[in-house]
């Protein structure tokens, strides 16, 4: 290893020093995506998607699926610094094999949202090195196959360090089961992060706090009593309980209104979406950037 000086660019990501730490952003890359799609002068919108209750579907296939795949593929890398795009990009990726006209219209809305938030970035602060997590699931949220979506995010202090949006592989028979599968997924990520931090000399002395808004899933995680109605998720039960027992995690209840992982599981109204986004990312302010 060798010192290369102050970091400015890394794999297409611009690193800007701020008064509180660093700001990671991909403004130039986002501009290239908009130019490729011919939407440089598009009109911005407040959210990247509309609530699924009013979304319209089309049975007409999109005439240029290659363009659709190119844009969606490019947006995937943009989510490295834009967690607010993770859910909608995940949904767009699920239609890459055979995009419809309605899918491309949804993609254009993502790009219009990007146009209005092109200066946003991911702040990294050095205020604390304590790991905490938020997890949520959208039970049977996919109207096509009724599978649920898992969403979680992990913070090191106030800095968002990892997040995920993923459709569950099996159909959950209850919201508790869907939430429990989500808890199992984030627990694996927490274990890996704790091991990584330990190797970096930032050992997590206390169990990592995991915030969940489903009281039934929390009760199931903490209650070692065998339940016949949950025997089909027995492996996840034992795995999570073992992690609680050995002090890796502590599952806590959090109000749905304060659940940050809600952003990763469903399309949200504008007010709710903006509130959650402001907890995760920030807009670049030239007066706050040293040397920018």
- Stated length of the chain: 292
- How far is 38 from 10, CA to CA, in rounded Å? 27
Residue 292 counted as domain residue: no
pLDDT in tens, 107-155: 999 999 999 999 999 999 888 899 999 999 998 888 788 999 999 999 9
Residue 34 counted as domain residue: yes
Whether residue 47 is found in the same domain as residue 97: yes
Residue 2 counted as domain residue: no
CATH number at residue 198: 3.30.420.10
End-to-end CA distance of the chain: 27
Q: What pLDDT, on the 0 to 100 scale, is given for residue 172? A: 87
Whether residue 144 is found in the same domain as residue 58: no
Residue 213 counted as domain residue: yes
Whether residue 100 is found in the same domain as residue 133: no
Q: What pLDDT, on the 0 to 100 scale, is given for residue 18? A: 86
Phi and psi at residue 170, to the nearest 5°: -120, 160
Q: What pLDDT, on the 0 to 100 scale, is given for residue 287? A: 43
Q: What pLDDT, on the 0 to 100 scale, is given for residue 224? A: 57
Residue 222 counted as domain residue: yes
Whether residue 137 is found in the same domain as residue 116: no
Residue 263 counted as domain residue: no
Residue 203 counted as domain residue: yes
Q: What pLDDT, on the 0 to 100 scale, is given for residue 31? A: 95
Best CA proximity match to 179, nearest among 221, 127, 242, 130? 221
Whether residue 247 is found in the same domain as residue 272: no
Best CA proximity match to 86, nearest among 151, 39, 26, 144? 151
Q: What pLDDT, on the 0 to 100 scale, is given for residue 51? A: 77
Whether residue 212 is found in the same domain as residue 143: yes
Residue 136 counted as domain residue: yes
Best CA proximity match to 213, nearest among 261, 263, 256? 256
Q: What pLDDT, on the 0 to 100 scale, is given for residue 291? A: 42
- How far is 200 from 202, CA to CA, in rounded Å? 6
Chain position carrying tokens 């050095």: 126
Q: What pLDDT, on the 0 to 100 scale, is given for residue 145? A: 86
Cβ burial of 77 (10 Å; 0-12, 13-18, 19+) is: middle
Whether residue 130 is found in the same domain as residue 115: no
Instruction: Give the bridge partners for 15, in sequence order.
Output: 24
What are the 10-residue block averages of pLDDT along the chain, 292 residues in total?
84 88 92 94 92 61 92 95 95 92 94 94 89 93 87 94 92 87 94 95 94 90 64 72 91 94 92 92 57 38
Q: Would you say the pTM of this structure is higher than 0.85?
A: yes
Instruction: Give the bridge partners for 124, in sequence order.
Output: 22
Whether residue 66 is found in the same domain as residue 153: no
Domain boundaries, position 83: 9-122+268-287
Are 80 and 124 spatial neighbours (Cβ–Cβ below 8 Å)? no
**Residue 55: helix, strand or coil by DSSP?**
coil
Structural domain count, the chain = 2
Q: What pLDDT, on the 0 to 100 scale, is given for residue 10? A: 87
Ordered alpha helix ranges (H), the chain: 27-36, 65-78, 86-93, 101-116, 175-199, 215-222, 234-245, 270-280
Whether residue 94 is found in the same domain as residue 168: no
Whether residue 194 is found in the same domain as residue 113: no
Whether residue 13 is found in the same domain as residue 111: yes
Q: What pLDDT, on the 0 to 100 scale, is given for residue 282? A: 81
- How far is 244 from 170, CA to CA, in rounded Å? 24
Whether residue 198 is found in the same domain as residue 108: no
């Amino acid at each position: 290893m060798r010192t290369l000086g102050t970091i400015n660019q890394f794999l297409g990501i611009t690193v800007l020093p701020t008064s509180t730490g660093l700001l990671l952003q991909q403004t130039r890359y986002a501009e290239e995506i908009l130019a490729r799609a011919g939407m440089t002068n598009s009109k911005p919108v407040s959210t990247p998607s509309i609530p699924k209750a009013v979304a319209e579907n089309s049975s007409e296939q999109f005439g240029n699926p290659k363009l659709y795949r190119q844009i969606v593929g490019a947006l995937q890398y943009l989510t490295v610094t834009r967690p607010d795009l993770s859910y909608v990009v995940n949904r767009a990726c699920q239609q890459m094999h055979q995009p419809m006209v309605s899918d491309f219209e949804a993609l254009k809305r993502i790009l219009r949202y990007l146009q209005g938030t092109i200066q946003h970035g991911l702040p990294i602060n050095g205020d604390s090195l304590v790991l905490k997590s938020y997890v949520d699931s959208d039970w049977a949220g996919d109207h096509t196959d009724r599978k649920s979506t898992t969403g979680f995010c992990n913070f090191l202090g106030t800095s968002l360090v990892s997040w995920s949006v993923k459709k569950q592989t099996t159909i959950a028979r209850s919201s508790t089961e869907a939430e429990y599968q989500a808890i199992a997924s984030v627990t694996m990520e927490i274990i890996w992060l704790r091991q990584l931090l330990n190797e970096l000399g930032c050992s997590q002395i206390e169990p990592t706090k995991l915030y969940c808004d489903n009281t039934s899933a929390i009760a199931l995680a903490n209650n070692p009593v065998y339940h016949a109605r949950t025997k089909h998720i027995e492996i996840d039960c034992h795995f999570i309980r073992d992690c609680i027992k050995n002090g890796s995690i502590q599952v806590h209840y959090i109000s749905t209104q304060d659940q940050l992982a809600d952003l990763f599981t469903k399309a949200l109204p504008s007010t709710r979406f903006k509130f959650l986004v402001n907890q995760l990312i920030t807009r670049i302010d030239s007066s706050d950037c040293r040397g920018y």
